Every structure is written in C-alpha cells, then in structure tokens.
Structure 1
Amino acid sequence: MPRYEVTIEKDACDGIFACLTRDPRFVEGEDGLATIDPGADPVYDCEGEVTDTDERVVATFDDDRIEEAKQAATACPTDAIVVEEVDR
C-alpha cells in the first residue's frame, strides 16, 4: 500500500468544506477550517499521524485510501489540499 501525506494549507482554506463530502477523515476544526481526524470515519478504523500547526495540517497515512484523499483535494475550490505519495 502507498504511504502518503495529506497537507492542508490553512491560509488557503476558506472553510467551504467540499473535502468533507469526499473523505470522512476531513472534519471542521475548532478554528472553523478543515482539519484531519483519522478517528472521525464511522466506517473504517483508520490510523494516521497528524500534525496541526498554525500554518498547516499534515497527515501521513499508510492505507489504501489515497484516492479518497485525492478526491477531497480535487473538490477543494481554493486548492488548499495537496496529496502526495512519500517514501516509506
């Protein structure tokens, strides 16, 4: 399975939340912007490492759900989300 990172640039996020409908790991954060919560998915028991700073959210996953993350990124009208495969 691919290991991949999902990055949300907070300064580009407008809180439109189109990503939430594509991947249930995306949720609304306390700041009113999108963030990632691996435990928010009601169907899959998902694990991931998430770093949330003032500038960005970076989550690393090692599962077969990269396409869902890419769909969330594509749905973002402000291009605030980047999904890329990373080395193991």
Structure 2
Amino acid sequence: MPRYEITIEKDACDGIFACLTRDPRFVEGERGLATIDPDGDPIYDCEGDVTDTAERVVATFDDDRMDEAKQAAAACPTDAIVVKEVDG
C-alpha cells in the first residue's frame, strides 16, 4: 500500500468544508478551518500521524484511502489541500 501525505495550507483554507463531504477524516478545527482527525471516521479505524502548526496541517497515512483524500483535495475551491505519495 502506498504511503501518502495530506497537507492543508491554513492561509489558503477559507472554511467552505467541501472536503468534509468527501473524506470523513477531514473535520472542522478550532479556528473554523479544516483539519485532519484520523479518529473522525465513524466507519474505518484509521491510524495516521498528524502535525498541526500555525501554517499547515500535515498528515501521513499508509492505508488504501488515498483516493478519498484526493477527492477531498479536488473538492477544495481554494486548492488548500495537496495529496501526494511519499516514500517509506
């Protein structure tokens, strides 16, 4: 299974939350912007590493759900989300 990284640039996110309807790991954060919560999915038990800084949220997963993350990124009207495959 590929390991992939999801990045949300906070400056670009404007809280429209189109991503939330495509992938349940995307949730509304404290500041009214999108963030990622591996436990936010009520159906799948996800494990991921999430780093949340002032500038961005970066999450790394090694499951088979990269397509869902890509759909969430494609739905973002401000292009605040990037999904890419990463090594190891």
* TM, length-normalised to structure 2: 1.00
Cα deviation, residue 70, structure 1: 0.1
CA distance in 2, matches of 1:82, 1:13: 12
Unaligned runs of 5+ in 1: none
Match of 1:15 in 2: 15
Shift of the alpha carbon at 1:50? 0.1
Pairwise CA distance, 1:53:
0.4
Give the letter aligned to residue 37 of structure 2: D
Q: Which residue number corresponds to residue 39 of structure 1?
A: 39
DSSP 3-state at the match of 2:73: helix
Q: CA–CA distance in 1 between the matches of 2:17 and 2:40?
A: 15
Write the deviation string for residues 35-60 of structure 1: whole angstroms up to 9, x where unpaired. Answer: 00000100000000000000000000
Q: How many percent identity over aligned positions? A: 86
In 2, distance between residues paired with 1:40 and 1:84? Answer: 21
CA distance in 1, matches of 2:85, 2:63: 11
TM-score normalized with structure 1 length: 1.00
- 1:43 partner letter: I
Q: Unaligned 5+ residue runs, structure 2?
A: none
Structure 1 residue 73: Cα displacement:
0.1
Cα RMSD (Å): 0.2
